[in-house]
């Protein structure tokens, strides 16, 4: 089968940063599905892995990226119970395995959902990683179940990004939080408002702009952006006994003790944790994706797709990586076959 | 009234590190109780405040320490509803106000409980600060309610200390956790076992000694000791999606990102948060202390008193501070009038 991968960590402008190659089509065993990929999306994890995984030595064989996909199940392992051949599915996958930038991909059925009916392949492909991240951050980390945000204020830092764009919708429609989303440009402010944010703050002057809304403390913070860069503002804005969830590794050490006297909690959310550690509750990701499908089919949640590239090849993926690395993306980008 | 306080941060061996003085007896207003103090306890916060509060300049007037007390209500403010004159009470108090090292003390009724019937003043005086800390850490931070520890393993680092000694009991009897407590000496190992720990590990070789018990990961960690010193071991031992609660300020910055890929939460617990920030749920501390009273009266929880000094004066308090500073205390020490 055809695939796109890398063997060296190179700038995306380098011809060899991502390249096409052929490799053997894998066979599904146990709980794996073999999926024929129809559309993929790009996430910051793609560029992070590309820049890190072969920064020292050249890899022995190309690594395939891609942590979002829509496709059709073409065969199944002997322990598969949730899906059958011909099902159209969407999933983010497992960071320890080959990704979706290929004709075919293996994925454990416990982290896969049925594709929402009303969406195109591109519209559906942009959802899994960000929706799993946002759902887990909101309902497995910050609060214990949907609806528990009622009467509570949630500040989403980086509201217009991939995770922010779905987090606003889930926080508002499922969590019932009062949502303040951050944005810093007119188009991003408009975007987060369209997605359902009750109020908009500016992450370049976070404390001042939240206080300007008449809010002293927020009950929860979901920081989808720079953990270190927003640390002092989060320390200032979080309510005593409140909780913060972060998803971006802190480049520099943060002063955790600043949260002490408020008895605040800091939660990490990485949507790869369940599959990476094969946790007992790994199948929760199947249920989360099925709920996302249901919410989309009912028209409660919309796709965060803002741009589509056609032709899944090294050239389109390089463009996708470049756009992701710019840090300026609004919503999400898909690449379709 | 007589009181003991300090105006300069001095080594405890210095004559002026703590001294007796006389000051006006305070009058209760609003929700305050005026309590005639009968017994107090010593906690690490006493020595920390003594060493920090006047490390730069001499205070204008002596600061009174003491964050645990048993006493009798002698008068009440006009909004008091929970207590009446003559009630015998126990409480930790509020770090922003004068402490219990005095004949009389004002305390907000919302952070006070009725003294357990079966205990002496000394036995009861050692409980409030540590029991509030342990209760909040276990049932307001790590899990949401009593009983939710069933089937889960909790590692308590520093099991024989003041907080550890009550935390073991609450975790076992109220939380229903499987409790591993750390201790490093024969007498402390015996003590934590008597208090109900299911297993004992050694905090000087924490990872190895927990693994030697056949346990790879623990669901929860309650670190009552050095946050920085045990950081790497906690990173290693915590289960993916697990949670850690800490109560001791980290002297050096910790690498928070080490917890990222396990999607772990770090919670701070400071039992002064509710009174310091006058949180809406401040009265929870009244309910917690009433539950402690009930558990003690039923014989489910025992006092952690191991030593009593007689005569609440500068000399006994200096001995108490010295013992606390040694870091070797087993259980808790009381000073009675």
Q: Rounded to 5 degrees, what angle do the CA atoms A315, A317, A323 make?
A: 110
CB-based contact A279 B136, cutoff 8 Å: no
- For position B222, what pLDDT does the model report? 98
Please give the C-alpha separations between residue B48 and each of A137, B45, B82, B227, in angstroms, as whole numbers.
36, 5, 32, 16
pLDDT-derived band of residue B258, with 50, 70 and 90 as boundaries?
A: very high
Instruction: Give the nearest chain B residue to A268 (CA atoms).
Output: B263
Residues of B with CB under 8 A from a CB of A: 136, 140-141, 144, 227, 240-241, 243, 249-250, 253-257, 259-270, 272-274, 276-277, 279, 281
Instruction: Give the nearest chain B residue to A140 (CA atoms).
Output: B241
Mutate to test the interface with A, among B139, B241, B243 (most CBs of A within 10 A): B241
Instruction: Give the nearest chain B residue to A247 (CA atoms).
Output: B260
pLDDT in tens, B301-327: 999 999 999 999 999 999 999 999 998
Measured CA to CA, the distance from residue A145 to residue B281 in angstroms comes to: 21
**What average pLDDT does the structure give for chain A?**
96
Q: Is pLDDT at A55 greater than 90 in this prediction?
A: no
Q: What is the CA radius of gyration of chain A?
A: 20
CB-based contact A266 B266, cutoff 8 Å: yes
- For position B57, what pLDDT does the model report? 87
Mutate to test the interface with B, among A251, A257, A271 (most CBs of B within 10 A): A257
* Residue of B250, B261, B279 lying closest to A273 (CB–CB): B261
Mean predicted confidence (pLDDT) in B52-71 = 94
CATH number of B2-127+275-336: 3.90.180.10
* Residue of B250, B265, B281 lying closest to A266 (CB–CB): B265
Residues of chain A with Cβ-Cβ distance to B140 below 8 Å are 241
pLDDT in tens, A61-91: 999 999 999 999 999 999 999 999 999 999 9
Instruction: Give the nearest chain B residue to A267 (CA atoms).
Output: B265
CATH number of A130-268: 3.40.50.720
Mean predicted confidence (pLDDT) in B24-30 = 97
- Map residue B108 onto helix, strand or coil: strand
Residue B51 has which token pair?
A: 């060493």
Measured CA to CA, the distance from residue A232 to residue A19 in angstroms comes to: 41
Instruction: Give the nearest chain B residue to A277 (CA atoms).
Output: B240
Share of chain B above pLDDT 70, in %: 100
Q: Is pLDDT at B53 greater than 90 in this prediction?
A: no
- For position A80, what pLDDT does the model report? 98
pLDDT in tens, B271-301: 999 999 999 999 999 999 999 999 999 999 9
Backbone dihedral angles phi then psi of residue B131, each to the nearest 5 degrees? -70, -40
Residues of chain A with Cβ-Cβ distance to B272 below 8 Å are 261
Boundaries of CATH 3.90.180.10 in chain A?
A: 2-127+273-336
Closest Cα in chain B, distance from residue A132 (Å): 13
**DSSP assignments along A64-107, one per residue:** E----EEEEEEEE-TT--S--TT-EEEE---TTS--SSBSEEEE
Residues of chain B with Cβ-Cβ distance to A259 below 8 Å are 268
Backbone dihedral angles phi then psi of residue B205, each to the nearest 5 degrees? -145, 65
CB-based contact A261 B276, cutoff 8 Å: yes
- Strands B153-157 and B178-182, by their bridges, are parallel
**A2-127+273-336 topology per CATH:** Quinone Oxidoreductase; Chain A, domain 1 (3.90.180)
pLDDT-derived band of residue A251, with 50, 70 and 90 as boundaries?
A: confident
Residues of chain B with Cβ-Cβ distance to A257 below 8 Å are 227, 249-250
Boundaries of CATH 3.90.180.10 in chain B?
A: 2-127+275-336
Residues of chain B with Cβ-Cβ distance to A270 below 8 Å are 260-263
Measured CA to CA, the distance from residue A270 to residue A245 in angstroms comes to: 10
pLDDT-derived band of residue A252, with 50, 70 and 90 as boundaries?
A: confident
Mean predicted confidence (pLDDT) in B98-115 = 98
Measured CA to CA, the distance from residue A121 to residue A336 in angstroms comes to: 8
Residues of A with CB under 8 A from a CB of B: 136, 140-141, 144, 227, 240-241, 243, 249-250, 253-257, 259-270, 272-274, 276-277, 279, 281
- For position B229, what pLDDT does the model report? 95
pLDDT in tens, A140-178: 999 888 888 999 999 999 999 999 999 999 999 999 999
- Strands A88-91 and A112-114, by their bridges, are antiparallel
Boundaries of CATH 3.40.50.720 in chain B?
A: 132-268
Q: Which of A257, A307, A310 is nearest to A123 (CA)?
A: A307
* Residue of B250, B256, B272 lying closest to A266 (CB–CB): B256
ipTM > 0.90 for the complex: yes
Give domain B132-268's CATH superfamily. NAD(P)-binding Rossmann-like Domain (3.40.50.720)
Name residue B221's beta-bridge partners.
B155, B244
Q: Is pLDDT at A250 greater than 90 in this prediction?
A: no
Q: Is pLDDT at B48 greater than 90 in this prediction?
A: yes
Q: How far apart are the first and last CA of chain B?
A: 14
CB-based contact B272 A261, cutoff 8 Å: yes
- For position B275, what pLDDT does the model report? 98
């Amino acid at each position: 089968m055809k695939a796109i991968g890398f063997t060296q960590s190179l700038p995306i402008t380098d011809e060899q940063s991502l390249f096409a190659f052929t490799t053997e089509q894998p066979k599904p065993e146990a709980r794996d599905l073999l999926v024929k990929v129809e559309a993929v999306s790009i996430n910051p994890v793609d560029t992070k892995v590309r820049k890190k995984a072969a920064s020292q030595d050249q890899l022995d064989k190309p690594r395939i990226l891609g942590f979002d996909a829509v496709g059709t199940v073409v065969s199944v392992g002997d322990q598969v119970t949730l899906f059958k051949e011909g099902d159209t599915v969407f999933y983010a996958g497992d960071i320890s395995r080959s990704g979706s930038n290929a004709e075919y991909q293996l994925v454990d059925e416990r982290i896969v959902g049925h594709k929402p009916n009303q969406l195109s392949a591109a519209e559906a492909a942009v959802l899994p990683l960000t929706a799993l991240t946002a759902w887990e951050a909101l309902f497995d980390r910050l609060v214990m179940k949907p609806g528990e945000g009622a009467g509570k204020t949630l500040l989403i830092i980086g509201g217009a990004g991939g995770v922010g764009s779905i987090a606003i919708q889930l926080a508002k429609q499922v969590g019932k939080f009062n949502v303040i989303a951050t944005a810093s440009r007119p188009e991003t402010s408009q975007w987060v408002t369209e997605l359902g944010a009750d109020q908009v703050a500016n992450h370049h002057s976070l404390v001042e702009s939240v206080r300007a809304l008449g809010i002293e403390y927020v009950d929860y913070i979901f920081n989808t952006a720079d953990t270190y860069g927003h640390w002092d503002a989060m320390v200032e804005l979080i309510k005593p006994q409140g909780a913060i969830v972060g998803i971006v590794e802190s480049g520099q050490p943060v002063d955790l003790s600043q949260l002490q006297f408020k008895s605040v909690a800091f939660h990490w959310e990485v949507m790869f944790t369940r599959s990476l550690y094969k946790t007992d509750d790994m199948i929760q990701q199947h249920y989360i994706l099925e709920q996302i499908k249901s919410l989309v089919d009912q028209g409660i949640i919309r796709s965060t797709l803002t741009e589509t590239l056609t032709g899944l090849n090294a050239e389109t993926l390089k463009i996708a990586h470049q756009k992701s690395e710019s840090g300026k993306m609004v919503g999400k980008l898909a690449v379709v076959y």
